């Protein structure tokens, strides 16, 4: 049974808001996998993201597989960020420069606030691994409906680098900050109502 986010909300040793454990939604973007006849198609990018979050004690609440299509990606992400039991959404695939690579456009159309530092740091880390090819990655991130959303390439190496080095360490704090106004409202209503 899921633990309410108020029960998972605390502060770290520096006094920063955190939500831990995180409830995670993963969206894999791949037309070839979405159209595969297998009931359980191979999804190495999604598997890598799941492995990284679970290794740190977080819980995967939903995994979706959609084709490389703007509307399909946007609908999947919009549905996940609307859920109160999802604290972070990570997509994998569709961040390159081909005509059907539309994940950054589909996800960023939902952002209320962008997190440009994520893409900058990710490409800096990618430079160390793949050199100048890092410039072709359009990985991005932002906040949609109080939920951090990260848009990653499809390669397992990219997913592992992004998750282990950036997303998993920082997202408990990002999710806490992004939704802190909801917690403030709850605390204010409790004090007005005389609750504890």
User: What pLDDT is recorded for position 188?
Assistant: 45
The tally of CA atoms less than 13 A away on the side-chain side of residue 111 is 18
pLDDT of 14 higher than 90: no
Q: Helix (H, G, I), strand (E, B), or coil: what is residue 69?
A: coil
Integer Cα distance of 180 and 189 in angstroms? 14
Averaged pLDDT for residues 93-107: 96
Which of 185, 166, 131 lies closest to 49 in space, CA to CA? Answer: 166
User: What pLDDT is recorded for position 15?
Assistant: 79
Q: Which CATH architecture has domain 17-187?
A: 3-Layer(aba) Sandwich (3.40)
Which of 168, 148, 167, 159 lies closest to 30 in space, CA to CA? Answer: 159
Comparing 67-76, 122-131, 175-184, the range with the smallest average pLDDT is 175-184
User: What pLDDT is recorded for position 189?
Assistant: 44
Domain ranges of the chain: 17-187
Average pLDDT, the chain: 89
């Amino acid at each position: 049974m899921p633990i309410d986010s108020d029960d998972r909300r605390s502060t770290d040793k520096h006094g920063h808001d955190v939500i831990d454990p995180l409830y995670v939604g993963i969206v894999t973007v791949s037309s070839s996998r979405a159209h595969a006849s297998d009931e359980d198609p191979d999804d190495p990018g999604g598997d890598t993201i799941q492995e990284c979050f679970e290794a740190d004690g977080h819980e995967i609440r939903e995994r979706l597989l959609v084709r490389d299509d703007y509307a399909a990606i946007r609908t999947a992400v919009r549905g996940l960020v609307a859920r109160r039991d999802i604290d972070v959404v990570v997509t994998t695939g569709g961040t390159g420069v081909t005509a059907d690579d539309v994940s950054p456009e589909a996800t960023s159309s939902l952002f209320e606030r962008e997190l440009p530092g994520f893409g900058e740091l990710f490409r800096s880390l990618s430079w160390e691994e793949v050199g100048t090819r890092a410039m072709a990655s359009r990985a991005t991130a932002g906040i949609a409906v109080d939920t951090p959303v990260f848009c990653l390439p499809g390669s397992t190496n990219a997913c592992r680098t992004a998750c282990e080095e950036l997303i998993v360490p920082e997202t408990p704090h990002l999710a806490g900050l992004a939704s802190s106004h909801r917690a403030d409202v709850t605390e204010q209503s409790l004090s007005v109502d005389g609750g504890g």
